[in-house]
Every structure is written in C-alpha cells, then in structure tokens.
Structure 1
Amino acid sequence: MPLDIDADRFRETFEAYSEIGATEAGGLHRLALTDADHEARDLLVEHMEALDLDVRVDELGNTFGRREGRDPDAAPVLIGSHLDSQPYGGRYDGQLGVLTALETLRTFEDEGVETARPVELVNWTNEEGSRFEQAMLGSGVAAGAVDADHARSLADSEGRTLGEELERIGYDGDAPAGIDDVYAYLELHVEQGPTLEQSGSSIGVVDGVFGLNWMAATLEGQANHAGPTAMHDRRDALAAAVDAASEINDLPNRLSEDAVATVGRMDVTPNSINVIPSEVTFTVDVRSYDPDVISRAPEAVEFEVASAAERHGVEYEFERLWSIDPLEFSPVVREAVAAGAEAADVPYQHIVSGAGHDANHMASITESGMVFVPSVDGLTHNESEFTEWADCVAGALAYANATLELATTEA
C-alpha cells in the first residue's frame, strides 16, 4: 500500500514555521543565521528529537536528523532542503522542502515503516546566499565544492562573518562538513516558474538543471555637464550600457529556444541628475540546458558590449565571473519520483529547472534528484509567492513514496 501523509498535521506545521520571520504582506524574511533562522532551526531540532532522530550539526551549521534502517552501516538516503529565505521572500521556497521531509519521517513512524537504509533529514545553511553572498553554501561545503574555512569567513553587509554568527546562535557544530557516503539525495521545491501550472500537472519530475554563465561589463565614457554638452559631443557610458543591455536581452532568440539572458545589476558613476555618466558596470546572467549555449555565451555577450561601446564612443572591459554546466539528475532518483507519483495517483510530468538548488551540489557525490510542485503565476523570491495547498499535499505524497522507494533498496 502507498504511504498517505497526515495533511492536517502537515498544514499546521507549515503554518507554524511560516510565523517565524513572517512579513506583513504574507511572505517570509528569514535570512541565514539571523534570530529568525535560529528560532526556525531550534523548532526543527525539537521536531527531530520528538521522532527520536539522531541529531548532529556540522561546522557549517548544516543540521541532520538520522532515522536508522535495518542495516545501520548502509549508505543513507538524504532528504531535505533549506529554511533560510530571500529578503522579503516567499513562504514556500526552501521551507516547504524541509517540512515535506519532516512529514515523510513522521509518516514512516505513523505507519511503522522499517527501511533497509537509514534516512536522514537535512537543513542546509545559507542556500539563498542573500546574507552571505555565495548561494548553496552549506551543501557546497558538504560536497567538497567550497572550502569550509572560506565559507566561514564570508561576511554580511555589516561585517559579521558566517563563522561568528554560527557561534552566536549555537549552530557551530563539531562535525566536519564533508559528506562522502550517501546513497541518494531527494529534494522537494517549488518550481519557481510557470510550466507546471500552465500544463495542469501537480508534480514535476526534475530531469536536470540549466547551466549558467555570469559575466560583468564596464563601460567608460566621460563625465560632462548635462546642459551645455551637445548630444553628438557626448561619450555617455549609460547610453552605451542601455544599448548593450537591449541587445543582450534579444540574445536568447539567436542562441537557443530555451536560453534566457538577464542584465540584473547596474552601477552608474557619478549617478547625478545633471551629469553625463562616465562609467557603468553591469552584470549578465545567461542560462540554458544546452551546454553549447553556455560555452558560447561570453563571446556573444562581449560582442554586443563591444558593438555598443563603439557606437557610443566609449571604452569597455569585460569579465567572466562564474560558469556551471547544465546538470542531468540521476535516472535512479527520477524513476523513484515517477514511481512515487504513480503510487500516490498524482499527475506528473518531466521538467527542467532554470534555477540552481542544493541538489546540484549533491549530484557531484551521489544519486541526486528533485520533486517540483507548481508556483502560481510562476512567481517566486517574492512575498506573493504561492502554491496551492492541494499541490503541496500531492508533492508530499509523491515525495514520501519516492523516499520509501529509495530507502528500501538493499545495500
């Protein structure tokens, strides 16, 4: 028989956590390692201990709760997500994944489920990267992609380091952050896009994640008075930047069907109402599931920057900041998610994620995959972020059954 969660308990738990860092507009403001995050972490530990899980905290504050299986030496199935939020973000991003994992283990207890493998619940530290600017940080250290000392030295806008804040809230654990013995990792998340809602599916079996390429360009012109300087005599760095940004916005049409490009940040100097801008720096984010698009993106973007600079008589500098290749998730986990959705009689479809998640890092060390539930209007990182509760329950049903499928695989 398929597992069936306690939907009322699940809803009550979600609402209780949503009060911690709640905003007046119905969202969530719970940045990593703040007092609100501390309170949410303490509540999770309380709920883990109520299930008699073996709780441990590592040097990055990643928090685990282990439920033993028949073979305690078998590599565990790791389930969870993150409790930190974006500044004035939504209630579903991250949090829903942790609470779905919690409800899964509660359901195992309700139904007396004995798994072959241990199952561990995890809350990752600083997934959002909005306070300490490196996203997916806790999982990155756990997977060996980020150095632990570097991570602990990252400072917020007020100069407080991650290590200092871990100590302040009591989550500076003794255990090393590295993980090298996990059978599989499964994470539930809101889609953060419109595909599932538009197609009418309650579940997304995530096949993989877009690759991305981040770049920055600086255009250097000449400051001058906004009144006396004729238009043909200007070397306006902002005019050139806006020209380049417009062309970059059209780039996806020439790169591939799924490509997206974003000019996300622009800094203007001297930024005065009556002075022609002398310097502008802006960032570019290009994403696609096609590795060729990711590799070609810097050349294509730099061409548009150079062309705009020439048209406006300014100089430019171009920098490649960060690049990751597209990722294909494990067939083992994808099949388990599909089987879980079928066992729960929940409609699903295969989907590719445009955003990165902790599952990205886990894919480098184990069989990794994700379950998506719909985002209404595709809205996320916003206080109005919303997922219909029926879809949350459908996702939890599929997730619990997929976890059981993975955890009953003999070592």
Structure 2
Amino acid sequence: MLNISPAEIDRQMDWISSISDKEGKGTTRLLYSESWVEAQKALKELFEKAKMKVEFDAVGNMFATVEGSETPESIIASGSHIDTVVDGGRLDGQLGIMAAYLAIKGLVEKYGQPKKSLRIVSMAEEEGSRFPYAFWGSKNIFGLAKKEDVENIKDNEGIPFETAMREAGFDYLSEKPHFNKMDAFVELHIEQGNFLEKAEKKVGIVNAIVGQKRYTVKLKGEANHAGTTLMKYRKDVVDCYARIVAEIIDKANEIGDPLVVTFGHVEIIPNVVNVVPGEMEFSIDTRHTDQKALDDFAKFIEATITKHTQEREIKLEMNLWMNEPPVPMDQKIVDVLEKVCQTNKLNYQVMHSGAGHDSQIFAPQVPTAMIFVPSINGISHNPEEHTEAVDIVQGIQALAEALKELAY
C-alpha cells in the first residue's frame, strides 16, 4: 500500500486552493474565469512534470495520461471538477483531482508502468456557480451537453457564456467526443455530510447517488385584515403551508432513511404583521436512492398539497422542475473497493451519496464508483469546509489500491 504523506496532501491542497478569483478566505474559481484558466494551466505543468501526456478537449476538460504497457487503449480514470462555488472550501472538487494525482504518481513510482492506461480528469465545471448550467464538463465528455442550452445564458455581470468560453480559449465540441472511452472511473470526494464523521469511519464506498425531485409551489388565498377577519373565514396560505409541511415531514420521518425532504425558499405576500397572508411561494426538495420509493413519496407530496389547498379553497400551482433518477454505482468496482479496504485494513463504510456529483453523469456511460472522505461537521460550499489531512490518507490509499487492481 502506498505511503501517502499528510503533509504532501496539505501542500498540494493549499497550493491549488490558493488559485482564486477573490482574495481572502475560501476559494472562488468560476468556469472560464482568469483563476480557472490559471488553475488548469498550473495542473497541466504539474502533470507534465510527472511525465504524463496532457490534453484538453474543446470545452476545457483536461486529461493527463500515463500510457499502459499492454492495452493502452483501456483507460482507468479518476478525477473531479476544477471549478468551485463562490467562497467555497479548499477541498470540494479539487481534492478529487489532487487525490488522483497523488495516487497515480505514487503507483507509477512504486510499481512502474501500468498494463492499462491511467488517467486524471480535471473537469471544466460541475457546480453551476457562474452560469445557470451544471455538469458542463462531464456532460461534454459524453456528448450530452447541448449548445442551445447555453448559447443565450449570461452570468451575473451580463457576460454571455459563449464570450467567456471563447475568451478562455475554448469552444463548443465540433466533433464526436474522443475522451469518453474508459474501462472505469473512480471519483474521490469529500462527503459534504457528517455520516462518516459520526460513524468514525475514514473511507466511504458509495454504492448509489440519490435521485432528486424539486418542486416550486405557489399558493393563492385571500389577503385580509388580521384583526377583523375571523379564523373560520380566512384563506390563509401560511396556515395551509404549515399543515402541508407538518404532514409531509412527519411522513418522511415515518418512512425513514435514506428518504429526505426539505422545504426552503419561502416568499410570502404581503409579508407584514397585520395582514392575513394571501399568497406564497415555496420550494420542496426530496431525495431517495430507490426510484419507486422516490416516485411514491412524490405522489404523496402532491396529494397532500392538493388535499390541504382544496380543503381551504386555496388556488394551487405546482411545478416539478427537477426530476433526476437515482444513479447506482457499478457493483464490480464497489466490490473492488471493498476488497482493497478489507485487505489493507482500511476503516470503511458502504454508503450512498445524498448530493449530486460528476459520477452520476459518468455512471450510465462507463463503470463508475465513488470514494468519500470525512467532512468536519459536514460543512461544505463554505470557507470553513475542512478535513484534516490525516483523515484523507486512507481515502487516497483506497483509491490507489483500486486503481492498481484495475490497471496493473
């Protein structure tokens, strides 16, 4: 098993996270920004020093390859996304790139040239932080991104997507993707939750990424005087909302893990102390690893909302605007990860991912799995995001051993 140095992990993460659009705490590296270009170029130099062949595709995804000795056309890949959220942490996305670098570099130094090719993937974008489009990097790898989805969108400063892309030196794919042939893809990522920390585990082997459904719900009742309108005559949207929330959350608790449901983004009109609220808008996010269970709970959500609005004579608009299916990981690669963890006595737990990742785009196309390392207090998308390097070591060792098993 590789000897992974915590000091080297910290050194690499401090270096890459310092490349930011903004000064101060946290990392802000948005798609096609100056720091995004700088980071990709810096990684290119790092990988070339390790004698890897570095290539870019048209949109800016980067691929660094150690060619295999026997079947170089067979690719075993690892990596993650190079972009961040605004004021993000030092680990999200970029840890997966640096972990792949440390694992592959260490394997080549210890065992020599692999039989199959090993590849690091530094994906252009995953977060959707600058433009209203997510997974631009991974979707382009497989030819899934559509020009019409981005050609008219702009960032918060009014800069068109196409302008930013071309000023960074990239453009749309003009031919079929040619970096999409892989025998396996393994992504290492911080958990962005507190399950591993609470369970006192160092490695999470992800067997599925949850499916997600998201709703925007609008209620229209009747605004009226807060003092003179008797309770029995009110068409109070907050009263209706409260009953909807209570019943749906109670049902979710009754069903139990891994189902989750979250109510957020609430707007009330008029939002004042002395008027019965007549209109409101709110969001619902629900997730599960099983498609039928997710569909069944969504039906319950819709029926519950309909019931309470009809009982109170409140008009309803309900928009299901996200409907992503659960994505299982490849069982053979999950088995490989379990095997190497058991053989090397790594402290692991098989689990699911409650957040979305590039691996959900990869998994329907190539055999894919994920490795999680703990997150302190589950904090992510925040400058306080942190994991001690000693708690990352076993995750990189699990990654390296799995890549060895698959490529040597």
Q: TM-score, normalised by structure 1?
A: 0.89
Which residue of the partner structure matches residue 193 of structure 2?
A: 193
Contact 1:343 1:398 in 2 (8 A): no
What secondary structure does 1:80 align onto? Answer: strand
Which residue of the partner structure matches residue 87 of structure 1?
A: 86
Equivalences for residues 180-219 of structure 1 within 5 A:
180-219=180-219
Going from structure 1 to structure 2, the CA distance change for 1:142 and 1:226 (only over 3 Å counts) comes to farther
Contact 2:72 2:115 in 1 (8 A): no
1:150-181 deviation digits (Å, cap 9, x = unpaired): 24554323333333222222344767573541
Which residue of the partner structure matches residue 110 of structure 2?
A: 111
What secondary structure does 1:170 align onto? Answer: coil
Contact 1:57 1:174 in 2 (8 A): no
- Could you tell me which amino acid in structure 2 is paired with residue 36 of structure 1? S
Equivalences for residues 362-381 of structure 1 within 5 A:
362-381=362-381
Equivalences for residues 45-64 of structure 1 within 5 A:
45-64=44-63
Which residue of the partner structure matches residue 67 of structure 2?
A: 68
Cα distance, 1:247 vs. partner?
2.9
Of 280-289 and 336-345, the range deviating more from structure 2? 336-345
- Could you tell me which amino acid in structure 1 is paired with residue 319 of structure 2? E
What secondary structure does 2:396 align onto? Answer: helix
Q: TM-score, normalised by structure 2?
A: 0.89
Distance 1:78 1:183 in 2: 8
Cα distance, 1:228 vs. partner?
5.8
- Could you tell me which amino acid in structure 1 is paired with residue 46 of structure 2? H
Which residue of the partner structure matches residue 5 of structure 1?
A: 4
What secondary structure does 1:60 align onto? Answer: coil
Of 284-293 and 49-58, the range deviating more from structure 2? 49-58
Distance 1:255 1:271 in 2: 34
Of 208-217 and 164-173, the range deviating more from structure 2? 164-173
Which residue of the partner structure matches residue 39 of structure 1?
A: 38
Deviating beyond 6 angstroms after TM superposition, the runs of 4 or more aligned structure 1 residues are 22-25
1:372-396 deviation digits (Å, cap 9, x = unpaired): 1111222222322221211112211
Which residue of the partner structure matches residue 400 of structure 1?
A: 400
1:261-303 deviation digits (Å, cap 9, x = unpaired): 0113233445566655443222211111222221113321112
What secondary structure does 2:45 align onto? Answer: helix
- Could you tell me which amino acid in structure 2 is paired with residue 385 of structure 1? E
Q: Which runs of 5+ in 1 are unaligned?
A: none
Distance 2:65 2:301 in 1: 47
**Match status 1:349 vs 2:349:** yes
What secondary structure does 2:349 align onto? Answer: strand
- Could you tell me which amino acid in structure 1 is paired with residue 405 of structure 2? E
What secondary structure does 2:69 align onto? Answer: coil
Distance 2:159 2:339 in 1: 45
Cα distance, 1:79 vs. partner?
0.8
What secondary structure does 2:58 align onto? Answer: coil
Q: What is the count of residue pairs matched by the alignment?
A: 407
Going from structure 1 to structure 2, the CA distance change for 1:362 and 1:174 (only over 3 Å counts) comes to closer
Going from structure 1 to structure 2, the CA distance change for 1:349 and 1:300 (only over 3 Å counts) comes to same
Contact 1:90 1:381 in 2 (8 A): yes
Contact 1:56 1:64 in 2 (8 A): yes
Distance 1:38 1:271 in 2: 44
- Could you tell me which amino acid in structure 1 is paired with residue 92 of structure 2? D
Q: Which runs of 5+ in 2 are unaligned?
A: none
Distance 1:95 1:67 in 2: 20
Which residue of the partner structure matches residue 389 of structure 2?
A: 389
- RMSD over aligned CA atoms reads 2.7
What secondary structure does 2:266 align onto? Answer: strand
Going from structure 1 to structure 2, the CA distance change for 1:285 and 1:165 (only over 3 Å counts) comes to same
Give percent identity, aligned residues only.
30
Going from structure 1 to structure 2, the CA distance change for 1:400 and 1:219 (only over 3 Å counts) comes to same
What secondary structure does 1:118 align onto? Answer: strand
**Match status 1:143 vs 2:142:** yes
Of 116-125 and 237-246, the range deviating more from structure 2? 237-246
Which residue of the partner structure matches residue 267 of structure 1?
A: 267
Distance 1:332 1:384 in 2: 36
- Could you tell me which amino acid in structure 2 is paired with residue 194 of structure 1? N
What secondary structure does 1:181 align onto? Answer: coil
What secondary structure does 1:115 align onto? Answer: coil
